[in-house]
Structure 1
Amino acid sequence: MYVIEHLYLTPVSLKLKTSFDTAHQHMSTRKLAIINLIVKNVATDETKTGLGELQSFDDYRYTLEAQATSLDIIRNVISKHLKKLYFSSPRDFAKKLGEVMFFGSFAKSAIEMAVWDAYGKFIGKSLKTMIGGLHDDVPVSIALNINAGVPLIIDAIKKGYQRIKLKVDAERTDFKFLLKILCQFPNQQFSIDANSSFNYHNAKILNELPKNIAFIEQPFAENDFVDHGLFQAKSSQLLSLDESINNIHDVKTMIALKSAKALTIKQGKIGGITAALDAIELCNQYNIQPWIGGMFSSNIGRSVDLALASLSNITFSSDISDSRRYFEKDVTQENFYVESGYITVPSRPGLGINLNESFTISEIIF
């Protein structure tokens, strides 16, 4: 049996090398928070440190749980439950935390991530091994800006990316130009991320996209399941939900309403690693294609996404970037590099990463 002895919290702001535009926002820095848990084995009094990452954004344009909200939940709600929460495994921890908290998916994900890390260190197993991952190297995709042009696409193809994700906006994207670009690369797999910028009436243009589009991610409103279902029923295009999915119950709603035939799995958003595994299992049961999405995470979250992407039933290449791509400086000693379109999955116990030696904890919760 295990218990959490101490919880430390450190907000960080990572500067992007180049600003990034989506239909939601213009981003030049990425605000995150690093979780440090001291977990004790009750039987032996041995302790291990677990690392987690809070991945909510600093405003409310992506979801209603922003960084400030998540931090408040951790400081004033979750912390009160953790002091008395004894657990036998990360899955047991997730179950017990879920019984006392039905909200705060980002906040719960950050804490549970640190529990998985500490637990893996106790038993000497990597996250990949603990969750049943099979692949040592996983194929990854690259997400390009709304205004990405042919040179960036050619560069991504040369680097071996099996899928290229193009961010689009219903009002700002020149779709005639986009179609022309897509048709120049008929053998390259693409996906389109609309970030909820369409409505049911102006989405007809999406049916004109060529066959090298693997799927269209979240064309309609973030709280919508109905219009997605209506469009999916009539379209040959594969839809994948992202913004609509904030917990395992949303996955069940998507399945019941047949809103999409693919699902973007973001463990930092859906409630944690356990919730992500449960969502993937539901997808398998109902013939939905799961894949691992990205959250502009640091190497901490990136290590988790790589482990999830190593599962045998992940359909498409995952949105996991090279450590050198986004930030001027990351928070860990380790980095993850793309080689011929693949990244190696961490194999050391827990998440397999360590914080930079210069990292200092800023806040003691208990």
Structure 2
Amino acid sequence: MSRVVIAPDSFKGTANAADAAAAIARGWHSVRADDELVARPMADGGEGTLDAFEAAVPGARRMPITVRGPVSSPVVTHWLLLPDGTGVVELAATSGITLLDPLAPLDAHSAGFGEAIADALDTGVERLLLALGGSASTDGGAGALSVLGARFLDADQATVQLGNRGLGALAGVDLTGLRPLPRGGALILGDVTNPLLGERGAAAVFGPQKGADAATVAVLDANLARLARLVADIDSETPGAGAAGGTGFALLVWGAAMGGGAELVADALGLERDIADADLVITGEGRFDGQSEAGKAPSEVARLAASRGVPVALVAGAITAEPRGFAASVDLTVLAGGSEPAMADPLRWLEAAGAQLAAETEAETQGETEAETQGVGPS
């Protein structure tokens, strides 16, 4: 009997982390029914971070709130109050891309995220964990900071409109009214290390995912550069400044510290303890690509597994980069015969992936047993 830890991130827009873990487990047990499976849904600061903390921290309490969504339509959501007085606020739950249809690359904003932060401050939290990722906007976090007391002004000293489009008219930034951080400070749970500007910046890398064509990406980047010039005390090249459409930059301006989202979530889950006694770890996410090694959940799970000498397998909706460090991998797009069927019924294909990995493990185990029976082994 083997012990298998299943610790995927969410498959964004198709399956949350808990459902993904359960589907993989069902598939595994369909082949190897006697194995012990431990589900540890993961997150890296993006969608699902609140769920991961709620599951991991006894006594965590949901704090309901209605905020302005990415284009100002009301969104009923919540943040999380932990027993030690920490508030966990997730951008994806307030200003996330899954809350918006159709996409609005120039006009989506982060004001709702700021409203949830303000509500946590009003509640009297001791410190804040601010989960970035899955954003709909590329507004440099100006929407969030405006709620917290910053003023973004045009040449006539009028407030510019929310969203990146408004940054095009930006002539001055007044930060004197910003609310103070809570006593214990604020820590950014980031899932990327991109800078604010340039070819690796928020607009160039993530703008297309938010509906921006090449011409719009150029506008987004130019408007972010205008913001950065007017807030010269923070280096726009800081790793993570480009997270969540530049909201990482805004939070650094506020005084928050940059942290690793996946690492902190894994610590809260006690994942390293679970992995220590495992025979195999399975992790995954919706898309494994060039960004996945930069602080995403699968890379953190793989790091912890490697530190304990435990093999790790990857399941992803699509794999577009070499999955280095993984003993096995399953691409759901390949398994389903295309991206459309994979996305139409992700739980079915996640279950199939679990069964495939179990079958491969079963075959390896049988091969080892036969080799021992025949007296064949390492010399």
Q: Could you state the TM-score of these two structures normalised by the residue count of structure 1?
A: 0.29
Q: Could you state the TM-score of these two structures normalised by the residue count of structure 2?
A: 0.28
Higher helix proportion: 2
